[in-house]
Copies of this chain bind each other. A is one copy, B any other.
């Protein structure tokens, strides 16, 4: 698996979109697809689509393109989604609940197998079919089930200490939905969704645009 060490982040981010398009083609009974068609579906350049396929190590036939099934398999293998990754979520407020109810993750090979909350949790509680436990059980279950992915949805002020608990429990990758920048050991993989930060960028750009309009109507 030497190939999978060579990748670009933008290319990785495109893989789910390819997968979605390929599954659509498969559902329509299409067996083969060429790079230009994939490129069109993703609104990208054909050259980029070709490079992405190269990264996957899937080889097409000149003139007839790639086998749809082989490409799907290639992407899922590349992403390690053949064996669905299991994750724990911490924090069952508005946003955590939403993620538990979000059916989209299944399509991306990630399954949230349990949720935890710092507040007391009534015995047998489930949200969208996912069992919820008190945070004091986190370390125990992480070790027992060999979970590596933690999804962090606690209030911002609890983010750092909860992330530290995750790391101490054996979590290797944290998907951080809080506004807090985590200070963690270098080797921990982090991915962040900073909704407040996104809104800040959107607001400032919009204000600028509205000002321009006023000045040059």
Contacts and interface: CB of A to CB of B under 8 A. Distances in A.
A203 B172 contact: no
Nearest to A107: B196
A179 interface: yes
Contacts of A211: 1
Interface stretch (A64-72, A73-81, A116-124, A131-139): A73-81
Interface in A40-92: 42-44, 78-81, 85
Nearest to A16: B196
A85 B202 CA distance: 10
Interface residue tally on A, bucketed by range: 35 or more
A179 B16 contact: yes
Interface string A123-146: 000000000000000000000000
A210 B149 CA distance: 12
A187 B4 CA distance: 37
- Number of this chain's copies in the assembly equals 2
A184 B4 CA distance: 33
A204 B79 contact: yes
B102 A95 contact: yes
Given A79-B204, A181-B42, A209-B189, A16 B173 contact: no
B181 A85 contact: no
A12 interface: yes
Interface in A184-217: 187, 189, 191, 193-211
Given A172-B209, A189-B209, A203 B1 contact: no
21 contacts: A4-B208, A12-B201, A13-B194, A16-B179, A16-B200, A42-B181, A43-B181, A79-B203, A79-B204, A79-B207, A85-B206, A94-B102, A94-B104, A98-B98, A105-B199, A108-B196, A109-B203, A110-B199, A173-B209, A175-B202, A191-B201
